[in-house]
Amino acid sequence: MKAQLAAARLLVAGVGLLAVVAGCSSSPAAGPSSSPPTTAASAGGTVPIPTNTLSTVAPTDAAQPPELPEQATAPPPAAAGPVSSKNLPAPAKLGTGWKTYTDPGGAEAGFVGNETWTRSRAPQQAAYEALPVGCGNPLPTSSLPVPEHALQGSYLTGAGKPATVLVLRFADAGRAKGYYGGYQARMAACGAKGSLQVKQLWSSSEAAASVRSYEDAESFVEVSALKGSTVALLAQSSTTPDTQAAWARSVVPALEAVIDLP
């Protein structure tokens, strides 16, 4: 079950892996000087203490990692603004034996459980983590719109495998289409080299399916769908992903029916 919990947190539409890059800087060592250092007393005032401040401007590019990861100090809400469980397909619509799963969270998961199967996500981080990371081929570098709301639902398949659906709600249909197109372009460019490999199963203008495989880990069948101002990314862990193209097509109507409901 521990392995299942770890896998369920990889979305795709997710689920992706977030690489947190910590920037660091250094200053050249000061050379010898015959003058004593200036102090607050000798300067006749206070010495300002430099601080690292975060931008107060809302993030505008989902292709860039967030300045800070999601806070894990309290259980997240079960809804994200107007997006709630009504925007997630019922388990029976996704396959025989599917059921919702209440993820307990924890330190390894990076969030505090809220005792239900849905949880609000930080929109930029959720949209960024859904993108492929670790591909052997270079990926597009264009900026991507940031959703206004993000909600994730957790499931177990009929075979007991973890699955997730991430619903990204944008300000308008144009922004949703922009993110969806950028996501698809990156998935198509990823290729079969590197620590992450992506194989396309099929695609259309508003839905697609692929297999995302990580080195020494399970593979995930991913279904993405665009409807109005909403993008949905469904990912399920699978040991036979190449045989699930038909299943991936079958769940698209279930996603399209609910993801963009107001």
Give the mean pLDDT per block of 10 residues along the chain (262 residues): 40 37 34 41 45 65 90 93 98 98 93 97 97 96 98 98 98 98 98 95 97 92 98 97 97 98 98
Helix, strand or coil for residue 26? coil
Residue matched to tokens 């719109």: 145
CA angle 102, 261, 111 (to 5 degrees): 30
pLDDT at 44: 45
Which helix H or strand E contains 197, and what residues bound it? strand 196-203
**Minimal CA–CA distance to 253: which of 186, 206, 193?**
206
Q: What is the pLDDT of residue 20?
A: 29
Amino acid at the residue 183: Y
Decide: 251 and 223 in contact? Cβ < 8 Å: yes
Q: Residue ranges of the domains in the chain?
A: 2-16+72-258
pLDDT, residue 54, reads 53
Q: Per CATH, which fold does 2-16+72-258 belong to?
A: Protein Transport Mog1p; Chain A (3.40.1000)
> How many whole angstroms separate alpha carbon 249 and alpha carbon 209?
8
CA 119 vs. chain centroid, Å, equals 13
H helix and E strand count, the chain: 6, 10
Structure tokens at 28: 């050249």
Query: Do residues 139 and 186 make contact, with C-beta atoms less than 8 angstroms apart?
Result: yes
Whole-number Cα distances in Å, 216 to 29, 44, 136, 160: 44, 62, 16, 20
d(CA 262, CA 259): 9
Instruction: Give the pLDDT confidence score for residue 71 in this predicted structure.
Output: 78
Angle at 30 between CA 26 and CA 36, to 5 degrees: 135
pLDDT of res. 58: 82
Annotate 134-196 with DSSP letters as a single string: SBSS-------PPPSEEEEEEEE-TTS-EEEEEEEE-SSHHHHHHHHHHHHHHHHHH-S-BSE
